[in-house]
């Protein structure tokens, strides 16, 4: 599995951090967000601000999503999540243009039916996502 993170070359992104602020400047340092794992986190899992594996079925996670973990992180250790920008995983097989949601604890082209819906990214290549997290919607 290969991992590449690119600088966000777009402008005008509206990234909602889950600490309550709307970030409109893609040059801010919130792109790479540190966290301490409270679960064993696998690379490319969506994580919360308190280091849990994000789950769209758990409404307590609704406003706590910070991004996608860049590496495997064991409980108690520090990791980094990417909150916006471009991320690549050679194991992904998306279709260009797919909208990627958090569905349960997984990334999916299918939005969840219960809990909350969160659009995480858009596929820009078979193995590459542009993270553009939108506000969560309670279902």
DSSP per-residue letters across 103-136: ETTEEESSPPSSSEE-EEEEEEETTEEEE-PPPP
What average pLDDT score do residues 16-44 get? Answer: 66
- 10 Å CB burial of residue 77 (0-12, 13-18, 19+) is middle
pLDDT for residue 30: 55
pLDDT of 98-124, one tens digit each? Answer: 999 999 999 999 999 999 999 999 999
How many domains is the chain built from?
A: 1
In tens, the pLDDT along 1-11 reads: 444 443 333 33
Domain that holds residue 66: 3-138
HSE value, Cβ hemisphere, 13 Å, CA-based, for 28: 17
């Amino acid at each position: 599995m290969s991992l590449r993170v690119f600088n966000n070359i777009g402008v005008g992104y509206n990234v909602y951090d889950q600490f309550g602020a709307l970030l409109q400047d893609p040059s801010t340092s919130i792109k790479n967000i540190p966290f301490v794992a409270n679960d064993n986190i696998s690379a490319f899992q969506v994580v919360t601000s308190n280091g849990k594996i994000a789950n769209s079925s758990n409404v307590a996670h609704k406003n706590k999503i910070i991004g996608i973990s860049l590496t495997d992180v064991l409980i108690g250790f520090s990791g980094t999540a990417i909150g916006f920008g471009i991320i690549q995983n050679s194991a992904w097989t998306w279709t260009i243009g797919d909208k990627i949601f958090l569905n349960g604890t997984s990334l999916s082209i299918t939005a969840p039916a219960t809990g909350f819906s969160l659009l995480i990214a858009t596929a820009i290549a078979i193995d590459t996502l542009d993270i553009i997290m939108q506000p969560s919607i309670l279902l």
